[in-house]
Structure 1
Amino acid sequence: MDKSLAQEQIDALFKSAKATAQPAQPEADANVRPYNYSRAGQISREQLRSISSLNDLFARNLGINLGAWLGMQCRIQLVSAEQIPFEEFVMRGADLSFIASLRLEPLRAVAILQMELAPVPSMIDALLGGIGQPGEVRELTSIEEAIVAHVVELICRELSSAWQSIGLSFYFESRQMQTQMARLLPIKERALCLSFEIRLPSASGLLHIALPAVVSNTVLRSLRGDLHPQKEHSEETRAKMRGLVKKVSVGTALQLAPARIPMRELEGLEAGQVVVFPVTAKTRPELLVAGVPLFQAVPVRSGERRAAHIESLPPE
């Protein structure tokens, strides 16, 4: 009996064995969706509505206080709250407007305020004893700029009051030129942009505020309840944590306060020469712990080791 196989039969056997050896492919999960990292930190519609409630409070209080300061009726209304690239916010601005940088604490971030100048002549006329007549929209004089700066400071106070539940405070820094605005925030950053309408009896204009992405993240954490205080640990747990912390090693250094030396005195230094610091002989070194000056001390010896003899707290 002939047991030899033809080449076609051998190829068929190899192909069949290879197909059997391949592991079964898992079925695709119908719930798997591609993730878009560019949408990280995106505020949902529901969260934007919560933010709008904060800004409705801000608009109402600002209208009351600004109207009382001007001695005339003033209505502030939220027009929109959205997340857009900062580049788009820059393109939206009017040619004649008051642009200011606002400092956000405790985030140490910068926000942008842009107010159209249309209501400004009416504000100035009211402050000078008039009835708030509208005027020509033009570049501001130094006196007019100072008046608008007071308006911006009032806006910052009302923003801080409305956003205190988020833990943010707003401070007016300085006026910025239109050409400088694009350098205050990354141009591609998704900013939280708020638009309000300032309506006076005889004039109206828009007020725009751009908040950086770090504010959006803070708002998201707050709205999710992540900023709620944690529950207090038991006394046993706190004692255990204190014991563990006491075993942690921290860097220490005994050194003089930083001093500047001209480069010409360092040029050509050789071994054996003396470098004179612009520090008096009465100046005590500081004992730094983890980079923080805690005490004034002097170097001493304790047996065969170097040591620091603590004398006093550092001056304020």
Structure 2
Amino acid sequence: MRNRVSRGLIALTTVLALLLVYPASTASADTITQGDRVCSMYVNSIGFGAFCSSGQAYFGDGSPPPTWKDRLGNHIFIPCRDFPIPEGIALGKPPPGKEWVLRVSIEDYNLNSVDGGKDVHLERAITPVSAQDRDQCRKEPYMDEFWATFDSTYPDPALQVKPTYTPRVNVPAYFSLTRESSMIFHTEQGDPDLNSAFYDATHNLTMRGLVTSMVVDPGDGTEPFACAMGVGRVDDGFDGYDDHADPFHQMSTCSHKYARSSAKQPDGMYTVKLTITWTVAYWTGGPDWKTIGTADIHAVQRLPVQEVEAIGG
């Protein structure tokens, strides 16, 4: 598979603000010092980031932080929202009366906690919805502050399927993630103020998240399989699949062969479940990236599988 490089940079200061307001359970953390500056970095299932200071600390006004239930008041918690399909995903025609959306859901949340609880996470599903389905995940302004917890997090995973997004029965289907959803940088190019990630007079602290493995549950009752990610070529178009070779002669091992079509499945599609492992590292000007830790995120994608068509059909 390839080493995927994202074209975009996300300002680290945005992540810092969210971390301070909505502390998340930490999967891994590390601290580095340079002179009087201390930088603390974290990685968890929501995202990763850092906070650098010059010895000053902020403890708030001493009042207990409100729980999600407190902030919700008398409103109903709506744990899902619909978004446009990410770029790079080509889908077939949706079922009649429905349209494709990326549905993101807040799962395993605890309203009696100040940050959603230690198990709270996002799950993403590319799925067809009707107007009635959309109303179940309507966007209410009072829910914005709960969704803000997950801003500047990992990009939405976008599953690519080759040689065609609609696999054929008994023909290997190869899985990968789009370049934009496989790697991300957090960096800060601003002034060395209290909240910036300025490390010393010569360079800034930079963090990198890279998808290093993906477990695919193909949704047809067979066992999940693991795929190594994040190694190989860095050229712009490489995704581990050789378009000049047939599906039966590929170097990639991240593939699955469906024995039956998805015609009898809900909406005529299999539900593919992904467990994506992000490995987060940081760089402070030395020759190597230093790994902090890993975190898993989960995603769900609907996939139609068709019978093999006859030649010319």
For the aligned pair, the TM-score class normalised by the smaller chain equals under 0.3
* Structure number, greater radius of gyration: 1
More helix by share: 1
Q: Which structure has more RCO (C-alpha within 8 Å, separation ≥ 6)? A: 2
Q: TM-score, normalized by length of structure 2? A: 0.23
More strand by share: 2
